[in-house]
Structure 1
């Protein structure tokens, strides 16, 4: 599982010019899943997202998590995070999980953030062509991968 976290001041996602999710301050999460991801990966990454200290304290150091800072999450499924560009000019997406595997895991990830970590989670639409708009705060962009867990 691979998640790109973008700290944002404001963000939204729309499908066919209709907003499906919008947040003010928080994270935009681009969520990619691969074939061998499991609920263990989902729980690990959700905990990491909720607990990463990416918000500044009074001294200007990144010492607060999103749960301490307050804020919401905009979760967008993105199979292209598993693009293989090592050969040719057209990326291969063979490492991305098929929809029947990815969708339940993405939904479980969003529920884990909501139910276990108490975060407000808005979403895009799985498998749809989406327009994502955000104001990146910082900019702060972090990549979390479950395969690098300790």
Structure 2
């Protein structure tokens, strides 16, 4: 499971010209699920995301987590994070999980992030054509792969 975490001052996702989810200060998280991911990946990655200390403290050091800044999460599924670009110019998405595997894990991540954060999170819609708007703060972007824990 791959997560691209972007520290934002605001972010939103629009589907069919309707805002589906939006946040102020927090994390925009793009989530890619592969066919070998499990509930263990969900639990580990959620705790990692919620505990990520990348907000500035009084001295300007990245030392605060989401809870410390009353931050929110906007979670967007993005299978293209598992693109293989080794051959040619057309990416292969063979490593991205099929919907029958990806949807339950995406929904599990929504529930796990909400539980770990202690409040509801905002989301996109799995498989939809989404327009994501964000104001990256910093810019700060962190990539975490649950398969690279060690």
What TM-score, normalized by structure 1, do the two folds share? 0.97
Segments of structure 1 that go 5 or more residues without pairing to the other structure are none
Match of 1:120, SS state, is coil
| Structure 1 ranges of 4+ moved more than 3 A | none
Native 8 Å contact 1:73 1:119 kept in 2: no
Segments of structure 2 that go 5 or more residues without pairing to the other structure are none
Cα-to-partner distance string for 1:12-71 (whole Å, 9 max, x where unaligned):
001111111011111100000001000000000000000010011111111111112211
Q: CA deviation at 1:119?
A: 3.8
What TM-score, normalized by structure 2, do the two folds share? 0.97
Match of 1:139, SS state, is strand
Match of 2:10, SS state, is strand
Instruction: Report the count of equivalent residues.
Output: 150
Q: How does 1:44-59 map to 2 (within 5 A)?
A: 44-59=44-59
Q: CA deviation at 1:116?
A: 2.9
Native 8 Å contact 2:44 2:146 kept in 1: yes
Which residue pairs with 1:80 in the alignment? 80
